[in-house]
Amino acid sequence: MTLTKDDLHGLFTAIVTPFTAEGAVDYDAVKALVKRQLAAGATGIVPIGGTGEYPALSRGERAGVVSACVEAAEGAPVLPGVLSTGYEDALEAGRDFLAAGAAGLMLVTPYYAVGPQEGMRAYFARYRDTVDLPLMAYEIPRRTNAALSPETYARLAEDGTIIGMKYSNYDVPGFIATLREAGDRLAVLSGEEPLFATHVALGAKGGVLASASLYPEYWIKVFDLARNGDLAGALAMQHRIDPVLTAIYRETNPGPLKALMKMAGQDMGPVRLPLTAPSAETMAMLTAVLGHIGQSEAA
């Protein structure tokens, strides 16, 4: 069954990529992590985005991670990230992920060589015509220096190029404008934990969240409160996890997140260069927040 915008709702966990102590991909740990997320109530899995260290993986490793996720998901949607800078590399990855059984792809806005709105629209459209998988656009301008306008998203939704988007952007007026222009034709998912409850209250259908790798149940509760009209309750829960977010995003994701997961008994291994283990100061913050909101509280 082909994925549609109506399938993009609730929590899609942006999972870390587990490595062994020697730095190899731990495919058994990938499968275990996926199963835990789905058992907790996640709707689907988004592997090998930024949280999954896409740039640090080889082509074969990326395809292997997607294959492991699809096997463990047992029919739940897997939408791997495609974070390549160039069209041909992105095309190669998309074809690999299609062969591995992905239900769709999360394609980042073109970056480094940033084109005009029409050029970026054409990039997505040509990609969708070439790789026969539903697309979720990934907007994260603080990393890419590129953002699509609400009007461009409306055009991409209108012609069926994309079925959804991950909005990793603190521009709330832009978020509202995107919902106004295209919210009836695509599923807008929040990619910002600090704004997650607000995004859902404004009309987001769910979220693609990295910290859900450790706290899926917690974020599902926040989502349920927000979508059922209890924004105050959702914000209260979200504020309780703010110290965790401050700690895990103090340095480049997913280094601190992996360190916190290890403290919580879920060892996902190290990160790959150029990322390094968190600093002593960040480790101290992580130790403090693990006690602030432990797994038992998040479950």
Task: Please report, in angstroms and rounded to a whole number, the separation of the first and last CA atoms in the chain.
Answer: 32
Find out whether the peptide bond into 274 is cis, omega within 30 degrees of 0: yes
Q: Listing from the earlier edge strand, what are the strands of the sheet with 164-167?
A: 44-46, 10-14, 206-209, 187-190, 164-167, 135-139, 105-108, 81-82
Specify whether the CB–CB gap between 193 and 214 falls below 8 A.
no
- Catalytic residue IDs: 138, 166
Residue 51 annotated in ligand binding: yes
CA 182 to chain centre: 20
Helix or strand run (H / E) with residue 107: strand 105-108
Among the listed residues 89, 103, 101, 99, the one whose alpha carbon sits nearest the alpha carbon of residue 57:
89
Buried b (16+ CB within 10 A) or exposed e, 164-183: bbbbbbeeeebbebbbebbb
For residue 19, the 8-state DSSP code is B
Distance (Å, rounded) from C-alpha 193 to C-alpha 197? 8
**3-state percent breakdown (helix, strand, coil) of the chain, nearest 5:** 50, 10, 35
Distances, alpha carbon 83 to alpha carbons 50, 61, 139, 180, 253, in Å = 8, 14, 11, 27, 15
Specify whether the CB–CB gap between 108 and 83 falls below 8 A.
yes
Buried b (16+ CB within 10 A) or exposed e, 145-163: ebbbebebbbbbbeeebbb
Residue 208 annotated in ligand binding: yes
Q: Which residues are annotated as a binding site for pyruvate?
A: 51, 208
